[in-house]
Amino acid sequence: MKIRKVIVPVGGLGTRFLPATKAIPKEMLPVVDRPLIQYAVEEAWAAGAEHVIFVTSRGKKSIEDHFDHFPELEELLSLRGKVDMLQSATDMIPEAGRIHYTRQSHPLGLGHAIWCARELVGDEPFAIILPDDLIHARKPVLQQMTEGFQKVRAPMIAVMEVEQQETSKYGIVAVEEEKNALMRVRSMVEKPAPQEAPSRLAIIGRYILTPEIFDILGDQEEGRQGEIQLTDAMAGLLKRQVIYAYRFQGTRYDCGDNAGYLMANLALAMERPALAERLIPFLKKFPLNGESSSS
């Protein structure tokens, strides 16, 4: 029951970051010095995955290039003796045959993107990482989940508590017993209005699912925002199987949102002494009451 394959969907349009994402995929935006997809792929390897499957779309070629060699650049760095730079550009390139790509021709929603990977996943449990949910954790979250999966051997979704007024941005789950880290899901609903949300436990972008989800996704009708929603399909799966919600350990940054993305950059930069040393005096220039620092 090892989780060998991880789907990383990158077929979306990234409209919340326009105009930056007109020609550059949202998933290629850097946090400090690495693009979001690199954090996702590193998390997959840390969890013991053997294959990463990207669901891409038009204009996402730079994602493929990122995980490939760039001979001219490597030669130049080598000639100039830039060993560290050469290493950082090549160490993250996976062994041939471990990264796979399939296309989603139209951005019909996350559920549809996952369904596009069905043939590459085949008949085994698999994981999903949404690269714009960057989770900073001592033990990578997918690893926390694969360890939990070995115990319960059932589909599992990462959750965290959000503010009541934020429920309409997330898939929300109701669980049997809220106090544990691993909780049996009773129901789930995509983006409920705050007054209709069954709880404040929001689904965050890490999932372990079984291949039954592909059959359900194949027949899934459009849901909220006219998209094929993964949460709706998981609600269907819940009628057939036990699903667990897992309250992960770590800090999540919503890098699909401008403020969350900036917070991720600041938080991760502060962990590097050389950057923190320069950033702290700079940030002190910004008064908390919102007055302009230049006056």
Binding residues (CB under 6 A) for ligand UTP: these are 9-16, 26-27, 55, 104, 107-110, 112-113, 130-132, 256
Cβ closest to ligand UTP, residue 36 vs residue 183: 36
Pairing assessment for the beta strands 5-9 and 30-31 based on DSSP bridges: unpaired
The whole-angstrom distance between residue 71's C-alpha and the CA centroid of its chain comes to: 30
Distances (CA, A) of 84 to 33, 41, 94, 210, 275: 14, 21, 18, 41, 17
Question: Cα–Cα distance between 231 and 246 in angstroms, integer?
Answer: 15
Q: How far is the CB of 57 from ligand UTP (least distance, A)?
A: 7
| In the complex, least distance from residue 18 CB atom to ligand UTP, rounded to whole angstroms | 8
Residue whose Cβ sits closest to ligand UTP: 12
Residue type, 88: S
Nearest distance from C-beta of residue 164 to ligand UTP, angstroms:
21
Cα 118 from chain centroid?
19
**Cβ-based nearer residue to ligand UTP, 10 or 233:** 10
- Which of residues 107 and 250 has its CB atom nearest to ligand UTP in the complex? 107
Q: How far is the CB of 25 from ligand UTP (least distance, A)?
A: 8
- Closer CB to ligand UTP, 16 or 184, in the complex: 16
Helices (H), 207-254: 212-219, 230-238
* Spatial CA neighbour of 257 closest among 21, 10, 8, 9: 21
- Write the single-letter amino acid at 54: F
| Identity of the residue, 129 or 201, whose beta carbon is nearer to ligand UTP in the bound complex | 129
Crossing angle (nearest 10°) for helices 83-90 and 71-79: 160
Q: How far is the CB of 168 from ligand UTP (least distance, A)?
A: 14
